[in-house]
Amino acid sequence: MSTMPAAFIGHGSPMNALERNRYTEAWRAFGAAVPRPRAILVVSAHWYINATAVTAMAKPRTIHDFYGFPQSLFDVRYDAPGLPKLADEVATAVSPTWVGHDNDSWGIDHGTWSVLCHAFPDADIPVVQLSINADKPLDYHLGVGAKLAELRDTGVLIIGSGNVVHNLAGTNPRLPDTGFDWAQRFDEQAKELMLDDPAEVARLDGHPDFRHAVPTPDHFLPLLYVAGLAAAGDTRPEILIDGYAYGSLSMTAYTVDLPAAAPPAETGEGSPAVPETAPPLDMTNM
């Protein structure tokens, strides 16, 4: 079995699940280019807990972890099966790091399904999520990503889903496709490291704009898992698509070892409109 690609996706607003825009078209192109995986392992920003755990249920539930959005978003279901045996494989791969098995508390959150409903709309590939341990430093997440790399040789597609720049308090709905200067500076430095030396991505915490770009680490940390596995394979990621939303979100996405494919169509608006019912300047849990 050939080595499976990997990706980091800047997922942005949950509304992207319902939209056709240049980001979701890129996610669709990514899914079309990937050889069919045995399973998909996702490190989502929205499973940020005080432990390292992996979902181990046969039928994970669709989680709607947000509020203030249209009912049509709450109606979305992504009924992909789980793969309990992959939980054991993950635990073995990252040993001696302890990994708990979650049999009933989590499932598939919107950091995962808002992307997969475009990339793999049939929901027929098993999906497993790996939590982000909030108690660990940046190097820990980079190291776990490096250990996960071996699963790519067994048909597992690994995806990190978050945003390189994610400052909800600074969002401006009147700037749907624009990044503030500080957001662009940080995102550009992240690009330089990801493309040239992914093992060094953890040192972004020393960047002058880090506190603005990463006020909380949950959305940034999935990038480190993909950087770690790329470094482990001495592979340089490539940019799938980039851009900004609402001033303070980066939509940059990276792929690792993705087979050549036609570029996505440049159709639609860059970012979905913010629904009028959404909390002002606080698009919670995006």
pLDDT digits (tens, 9 = 90+) for 113-161: 999 999 999 999 999 999 999 999 999 999 999 999 999 999 999 999 9
Q: What pLDDT sits at residue 92?
A: 97
Q: Identify the pLDDT of residue 46.
A: 97
Q: How far apart are CA 48 and CA 6, in angstroms?
A: 21
Spans of the chain, pLDDT less than 70:
1, 261-286
**Domains located in the chain, CATH noted:** 6-256 (3.40.830.10)
Cβ atoms of 5 and 37 within 8 Å: the answer is: no
pLDDT of 11: 97
d(CA 30, CA 33): 5
SS3 at position 261: coil
Residue ranges of alpha helices (H) inside 40-80 are: 71-74
pLDDT for the residue numbered 250: 98
pTM, 2 dp: 0.92
* pLDDT at 286 (0 to 100): 61
